[in-house]
Amino acid sequence: MATLPTVSLAFRPGFSVDLPCTSRQLLERLYARLEGGPHQLRRTRSFGGGVVTIRDDEHFVLTVPEDQQRVWSPWLRVEVSQRGDGSHLAARFSPHPSVWTLFAFSYLGLSVIFMISLCYAAALAMIGAAPWALAVSGATALVMLAMWGVSQLGQRWSRAQMEELRDELERAVRDCGGASCGA
């Protein structure tokens, strides 16, 4: 019986497991069990549209039902790949893509402001002026720290949903061990 590692709070917590089933067998079992379940199974495709290949089936997202979704609700992104005679399942929790994009661009923008204000403060200090831009750097660092705190709070609020999604995936993977793979 395959068991998945425990989930811990991290920036984007995840887990992976090697299974004796081939990736095709594992995907068939996962789709069969998860498509009719209480959670939403969303098949993903690579960017650019184009021709659908067998590789497009190896990525999917598992989310909580729409009526239970909140801003902090997790998405469990799953990728299955062939590894020797078996398969490798890698899963990573993330927030809704729009929330993730907002945080990523906010961190990027704040980092740029932080670096520019530090450089400006250094330039002011070199010419003997008061480096008032250090206050901007400090404020930006505090905002980034607050954003990190909000992300940790969101993970705590979504903890039950994360465990629910992980348990659902574990139930779907559970019988993919040893002799049951050949069936």
Q: Which of 80-84, 100-104, 160-164 has the lowest mean pLDDT?
A: 80-84
When pLDDT is cut at 50, 70 and 90, the band that residue 181 belongs to is very low
The pLDDT of residue 49 is 52
The pLDDT of residue 8 is 47
The pLDDT of residue 9 is 47
40 located within any domain: yes
Query: What is the reported pTM?
Result: 0.69
125 located within any domain: yes
Mean pLDDT of 131-144: 96
Q: Is the pLDDT of residue 122 over 60?
A: yes
Q: Quick one: CA dihedral 122, 123, 128, 133, positive or negative?
A: negative
The pLDDT of residue 155 is 83
169 phi and psi, to 5 degrees?
Answer: -65, -40
176 located within any domain: no
68 located within any domain: yes
The pLDDT of residue 44 is 64
- How far apart CA 183 and CA 179 sit, in angstroms, is 8
The string of pLDDT tens digits covering residues 148-179 is 999 889 888 988 998 888 888 888 887 665 43
Torsion of CA 41, 45, 49, 50, to 10 degrees: -110
When pLDDT is cut at 50, 70 and 90, the band that residue 4 belongs to is low
65 located within any domain: yes
99 located within any domain: yes
The domain total for the chain is: 1
**What percentage of the chain carries pLDDT values higher than 90?**
27
Task: Report the mean per-residue pLDDT for the chain.
Answer: 81
DSSP per residue, 124-154: HHHTTS--THHHHHHHHHHHHHHHHHHHHHH
- Residue ranges making up the domain that contains 75: 1-171
24 located within any domain: yes
117 located within any domain: yes
The string of pLDDT tens digits covering residues 30-55 is 888 877 777 777 766 555 555 444 44
